Each structure stands twice: as C-alpha cells, then as structure tokens.
Structure 1
Amino acid sequence: MTKIHLETFGNGKPIVLVHGWAMHGGIWREFAMQLAQHYRVTCIDLPGHGRSEAIDPFTLERISAELVGLVSEPCCWLGWSLGAAVVLDITRLYPERVSSLVLLAGNPMFTNSGLAWPGIDVRLLDGFAGNLHQNCQTTLLRFLSLQVNALPDHKHLLKTLKAAVLERDAPNAKTLQGGLDILKQTDLRLALSALNIPVSVILGGLDTLVPVAVGQQMQRLLPSLELNIIDRAGHVPFLSHSEETLAIISRFMDKQCI
C-alpha cells in the first residue's frame, strides 16, 4: 500500500484539503490552523508530492483510490486547482465518502474549448510539459508566477509559494508530467452536473489559470451550486484573501448537518 502523508488539526465537522499541482499539504499550514479553530481539518500530500510515496502511473483514478481510504467517514472534500479534479473524481467514484464539496480556484475541465468552455490554453500546458524535461525548477517557478502575477502583492505571495515548495522535496518529473496530463485531459463536467450534494465554488476575479467566467458555466451544469467570487483574488485566494475565503467556507460548512 502506498504511504500517503497527512496531518489533522482541530475538532468538529471534518474537512479534507487537497492541494494543487507541484505543491504539498504544507501550503495550507497557516490557513488550515485558522480553519481548525472550528473544524477537524486534514491536509493530504498527493502521491509523489511532499512526504507521500509516488505512484505509477499518476492518474486520477489511482490518486482517488489512494486518498479515499484515508478518511473513515463522509466529510467535506476541498480541492484547490488540480486538487479540484481529484475531489470531483473521488465524489464520482466514491460518493458515500463525500458529504459536500468545495472547489477552490478549480473546475471540472481546465482547458478551454473555444466559446463553449473558458479555461487555460492547452498550448500553455504543452509548454510546461516540454520545459519540464529541460529545467524542472525553472518550470515550477514560472508556474508559481502565473498564480500570483496579477495581484498587487505578487512579490510577497510568490515568496510564500516558493518557500512552501522548497520546504519538502519536489515531485519527480514523471509525477509532474502526470499532473499536467490530468489538467490537460480531464473532463468531469458530467460528474459535476450529476451531483446531489452541497457544492461550493470559490473563484478569484483575477485568476489567470481558472477564468472567473467558468463559474457561470458551472452553475448551468449544476444550478444548485453555490458560486463565490473574490474579485481581487487570483489563483491562491487562501493565501491572498484568507479571511474572505475562510468566511465563505465557514458559512458553507455550518449549513451542513455532518
């Protein structure tokens, strides 16, 4: 069995935090401590990230199977960026383990499809994939810059992201490539439209990776979806606008029975 690293803080309703591409559970630390004042918060390192063992192949189905066994009761799953695809897939495959869902700067399909679906240009992901083989560290730094470069305090946020990444060993190139493949190929729109559990989406108005326009498209797929826009936030609202993000999650969690 693959060794998956996790940390749990606080007491109360359970919520599991799943990080994004190339990151690890440590990115949540300060945010998780604040959330843990009211809830039981579990931060997971994705396979091959942080202190978790790698899996091969690094596919969405394998990731979901590895993570779902870590939690013994239905809970709220929160996924940020790539983590949003992971928690959506867990909900699709293991609905009995999910009581509610939060998609933070995430969506069911990351790439665009013309006017039908706003998303990231697939050529940008292809560029990341090509650069991974040439200079992995430079590619990661470029990706981090994209997450914050539209924000006024981008230098401070980029410094925070870099420090978090360097805190634990970086994923190997194969794992990083697998993550890019998931972002490029995954389409969970049907899975989202079929959900019958509470779902909250939190998007940043200045996000350059997950366009805010995707929120309306998601609401068309699932009219009951709760859409929250933090106007001045980018791709890391839990770092740049932690108070607003915490307030949204707390309101959502407090509505749930479990």
Structure 2
Amino acid sequence: MTLHVDRLGSGPDLVLLHGWALHGGAWSSVAARLAARFRLHVIDLPGHGHSRDLAFTDLDSLAAQVAPAVPEGSAVCGWSLGAHVAMRLAEVASLGIRALGLVASTPSFVTRDGWSPGIAPAVLEGFRRDLRRDRIATVRAFLQLNARGASGARACVRRLEALIGERPAASGAALAAGLDVLACTDLRTRSAALSQPALVIHGLRDELVPVEAGRLLAASLPNARFVGIDDAAHAPLVSHADALATALERLDG
C-alpha cells in the first residue's frame, strides 16, 4: 500500500499534514481557500484514513514514509503531531523544504526538565492506558481537548467527530505509536538548525498545547514569525479555517 495523498490547486507546492487520530480531510476548509494559491498535497499519515494499513514506530519512521510524497522544494505545514513530522522533514537536506507552517505546535508535547509549557507525562500516559481499554472513547475525549477553550467549542467537536467518520478510522497501532511520538519527541535542541522561513500559528485559547510553547518555538527558530489566532484553541483548521488560511497565504513571505 502507498501513502494516500489528495492533490489540488495550482502554484508552489505546499504539503499539509494532519494531527493525531484524524486524516487529511481535517484540512478541507483550509485547503479550499489555499488551492487558489498553492499546489496542495494533503496527506493521510501512515495508519490514518486511507493510509490506515501503513505502520510506523517513531517520528523517524513516520517522516520517512511521508518523505517520498513531498515534492522537492515544497513548503510543509503540519498541525500538532503533523508539525513534529514537518520539522523532521525540514531536517532532510535532499527535500529542500523551502518554508514551514507549524500549527498548534511545540518542540515538546509533554513537560520535561527545563520545559514547563506542556502536559504532564502522567496525563499522556493516561491516554495511552485508556486507549487500550476503549479506543473510541479515548479519541472522543482527545477531540474534546482539541476544542476546549475555543469560541464555538461544541460545534468544533461536532465537526471533528464528523471528520473522523469520513474516512477509515486510524488503526489502534497508529494511535498508540502516535501517542508514543508525542511522549518521546523533544526537538528543543534541534530547532535552531531549521533555517527555513517559518510561521508558528497558534490558537490563543489552546488548552492542550499552551500558547507559551508556540511562542518559545518561534523564538528558537532562526527565521520564524509567531501568529496568534484570537478565540481559537488547538484545532484552528476546523474552528477558524478562514483565519488560518489567511495566515498560511503569507507562508512564502
């Protein structure tokens, strides 16, 4: 099986990467706007959506499977887990990634020594434990966290739940591996080497990845700008698609 990619629009190449448990369809509202400016490559990550039968074990193996679908010289925009993948792809010199969009992103999803703007490792471990017991309920709870704090949070949750049902559900193995990536990835010492122009875009009401994490990530990147979206939480691509698309239209300067 090969990685599923939806391609649309015309212009410079822009790859869109979704977050945990979702699929490329999560970008649909944003993609409808951006297709007038970019040639979009909207990917279902391994183990998710139409790429459900693919597997990964860590961030490196996840990025390695995505890389062949990324045209040389592309801009890459990732949301949440997808932002980790985007940053890993930006390290691959042969891809020549020209710009980065990092949405609801952080160098470290969990708190660590010297890093407080994250969730406690015990909270993420709770999700991993719950996932083994009841996958559907765990995904639903995570979707609620995505929307918590946003204006129109209930509508955002309903839309996220509807999106989940539009393509094959993420495999249990991919969900578990994705949580492992979120728990283990720490890009703090690597971000300074990412010289590409970058937009770090964050919902100012994000209760899953604190705004401070996004601001610190932007400060650590040599050529980044921070863009805050008022009233948005962790899923601005669903709750505030127009504002996010407007920000991404400036990805190439």
Q: TM-score range by the shorter chain?
A: over 0.9
* Contact 2:15/2:40 (8 A) holds in 1: yes
Residue 56 of structure 1: how far off its partner (Å): 4.2
After superposition, the C-alpha distances for 1:3-33 in whole angstroms (9 at most, x for unaligned) are: 1000011000110000000110111112211
**Where in structure 2 are there 5+ consecutive unaligned residues?**
none
Q: Are residues 249 and 181 of structure 1, via their aligned partners in 2, closer, same or farther at CA, if it must alter by over 3 Å? A: same
Tell me if 1:229 matches 2:250. Answer: no
Tell me if 1:6 matches 2:11. Answer: no
State the secondary structure of the residue aligned to 1:16: strand
State the distance in 2 between where 1:238 and 1:53 align. Answer: 22
Query: Size of the alignment, in residue pairs?
Result: 253
After superposition, the C-alpha distances for 1:42-97 in whole angstroms (9 at most, x for unaligned) are: 10000111011434442211111111111232110000000011111111234533
Residue type of the partner of 2:91?
R
* Contact 1:16/1:75 (8 A) holds in 2: yes
1:26-45 correspondence runs (5 A): 26-45=25-44
* Contact 1:47/1:63 (8 A) holds in 2: yes
TM-score, normalising length: structure 1: 0.93
Residue 115 of structure 1: how far off its partner (Å): 5.6
Q: Are residues 4 and 196 of structure 1, via their aligned partners in 2, closer, same or farther at CA, if it must alter by over 3 Å? A: same
Q: Are residues 57 and 73 of structure 1, via their aligned partners in 2, closer, same or farther at CA, if it must alter by over 3 Å? A: closer
Residue type of the partner of 2:234?
H
- Residue 75 (structure 2) aligns with: 76
Residue 149 of structure 1: how far off its partner (Å): 2.2
Which runs of structure 1 show a deviation greater than 4 angstroms over 4 or more consecutive aligned residues? none
* Contact 1:10/1:37 (8 A) holds in 2: yes
- Residue 103 (structure 1) aligns with: 102
State the distance in 2 between where 1:142 and 1:148 align. Answer: 10
- Residue 176 (structure 2) aligns with: 177
Q: Are residues 53 and 172 of structure 1, via their aligned partners in 2, closer, same or farther at CA, if it must alter by over 3 Å? A: closer
State the distance in 1 between where 2:94 and 2:82 align. Answer: 17
State the secondary structure of the residue aligned to 1:120: coil
After superposition, the C-alpha distances for 1:175-214 in whole angstroms (9 at most, x for unaligned) are: 1110000000001122211111101100111111110011
After superposition, the C-alpha distances for 1:145-167 in whole angstroms (9 at most, x for unaligned) are: 01112123111111110010011
- Residue 54 (structure 1) aligns with: 53
State the secondary structure of the residue aligned to 1:3: coil
* Contact 1:48/1:172 (8 A) holds in 2: yes
- Residue 129 (structure 1) aligns with: 128
State the secondary structure of the residue aligned to 1:8: strand
Residue type of the partner of 2:6?
E
Q: Are residues 216 and 156 of structure 1, via their aligned partners in 2, closer, same or farther at CA, if it must alter by over 3 Å? A: closer
**Where in structure 1 are there 5+ consecutive unaligned residues?**
none
TM-score, normalising length: structure 2: 0.94
Identity %: 35
Q: Are residues 177 and 70 of structure 1, via their aligned partners in 2, closer, same or farther at CA, if it must alter by over 3 Å? A: same
State the distance in 1 between where 2:93 and 2:61 align. Answer: 13
CA RMSD of aligned residues (A): 1.6
* Contact 2:196/2:223 (8 A) holds in 1: no
